[in-house]
Structure 1
Amino acid sequence: MGIGLVDPILPAIAGSLEASPVETELLFTSYLLVTGLAMLVTSWVSSRIGAKATLLVGLGLIVVFALLCAMSGSVDAVIGFRAGWGLGNALFISTALATIVGAASGGSGAAIVLYEAALGLGIAVGPLLGGLLGELSWRGPFFGVVALMAIGFIAVLALVRSSDEKREPMPLSAPLRALRRPALAILAVAALFYNIGFFVLLAFSPFPLGFGAMGIGLTFFGWGVALALTSVWVAPALMRRVPRTAIILVTLPLLAVDLILAGLLVASPAALVVCIVVGGLLLGVMNTVLTEAVMEATDLPRSVASSAYSAVRFLGGAMAPPVAAALAHTFNDTVPYLFAALSVLLATFTVLLGRRTLAHIDDAGHGVIEDAEAILVGDAA
């Protein structure tokens, strides 16, 4: 929820703090850049202090820096505090998936789908809550993040067991060495280009939409619902029938087409909303398929594979928002979406060229997906 909570107030921050769109987009850059770089050390940290302690430190840092953002008086201060927020984010997300996979009884496939279900639900609800709080003040969503992360902190403290953790200290160089594995390196580079498309759609779109905080929140609520639906139900169904690389090679070009249409139709808010929601459907499929592909790509510890992969992909997310804003300022609002589409096509070619190296991820057991669906249906009932 914290990811999307701030999205609806980007134009409001620009107006209230007299910041340009490029400066405002640096809120994403500082956050994602530090998140990506910090990913290189999170497995080293968690292997020494344990997963639970790492989760708690990460959530605690987010609470502190989100509160400082809410109390800031300048865009430069918010950008700086978002960097600290990114450090907490790295410690949390790099450890969360590995912890869930380790605790789940249905195997890695079941755990990943459950993880994506929670992520999708949070991404859907976050912008809606952000829009409601943003109507009161641009500071409101930051205080909302403080409350949500405090709830998360208490939940981890009370519910995550640490007594049976098996700690195997990882060398500091483990994530960098992991990127020498060809399959993981290919997926990481593809994700870097894919994340450019993802964050242009997420972080730049609030500006050309021209809506208030509530309108942006409702738009990205629809986007998040679409993302959740496909990540939880559509992606597992596809992976049961179609090789993972084939899904990626079909979904990425469709996303590129959607981004091109968003650029060509950017002057029409209604058309742009449709493109954003359709983009959510495609992003949901990609997120689940890529995450599971990374978990199956190597025999490395999941925390190391996740850290190495995420360090690279977040660099794409870090550069995308300010580049998109600069392109819009220099040319027009169409060009950022064309830039995003080109990046997504580069992701497609990366996977296509490495398809032989990735052949083994197509053979990883599809049975766990069926287990995951059974768990989700049982929970829903």
Structure 2
Amino acid sequence: MNAPRIDTLPPGVVSLGDHEAHARSVLDASAWAYFAGGAADELSLTDNREAWNVLHLRPRVLRPLAGGHTRVSLLGRELAHPILLAPVAYQRMAHPDGELATACAAAAQQAGLVLSTQASLPLEQIADAVRDDPERGPLWFQLYLQHDKGFNLELLRRAEAAGYEALVLTVDAPCHGARDRERRAGFRLPPGVRAVNLDSLPPRLARPLAPGASGLFDDLLLDAPGWDDVAWLQAQTHLPIILKGILDPEDAREAARLQVGGLIVSNHGGRTLDTSLPTATALPSIVHAVGDSLPVLVDGGIRRGTDVLKAMALGASAVLVGRPYIFGLANAGALGVAHVIRLLRDELEIAMALCGCRTLQDIPPTLLVA
């Protein structure tokens, strides 16, 4: 598979909400539960979206707007716009071209891409498809630390050799959330879809449990990563390490003390701990905690260009989206993903113009009224 196929957009799809509605008719019940669902009662899934909605914009008028742009600097690179694609596993469940289609669409739209550890295509294949495109956005690799340190190092070296420019270490999921929707749907990976980059991971051997012991606390979580693992990872690579899943300012300050490359304010899209703080609510305190020492990105519930504008007003350096581009992928492959990115970017430009902001640097905190 060297290039993604050419699909067509479904008629009447003109927003990210339209993409989601149409994808529900395309994906089977199991895949829909996996991609669209959240943890437990899915309150965080809903709250992420509502937290952006309750922030109102107070626009300025008659401002100079000619020559405006959406460019932003991030980790030493100038990006055409601040929209990146968050890591999402098993994308071949949504479309046969999976992560290849996503990567090509991201490159075509100059969006950053974060490839999941649990991608359903090899990390080298994805990097080879887009690495040499001079117009593409950043290419990052998301890392879940596994129980085998030797395997973690092997995976890191593969990402470095393939040309990934940063590591995104997910730190908010030492275990899975209670995903009721997936259980109700009887979720199973379909034949032929697996986390191919984990094929050489040695099996994890369960520890014998004493009577009354917990299989979670006394076995699985003995391998959960800690701050010392972040320091170990830093010592193994020249790549910047971005911590994904930060909601508490003290965690942000500890990350700054370790001089990581950046932070992503995230509650895992509401897929792990239900009733956790919405990311739009958490973002200002994280930005305040680290000041100018680290770039702070945010994901969770972003569905409109106005949401991107609000995130920048709250101090974010950039944003990531996950489910929306997966719905675009399900609807029309690479074209659907590209359409989602383009819609967000166009809506961001419109919102900037209507709020009197010529550039992202011109967005003041006073633009927002809660």
Q: Output the TM-score relative to the length of structure 1.
A: 0.26
Whose strand proportion is higher, 1 or 2?
A: 2
Whose helix proportion is higher, 1 or 2?
A: 1
Q: Output the TM-score relative to the length of structure 2.
A: 0.26
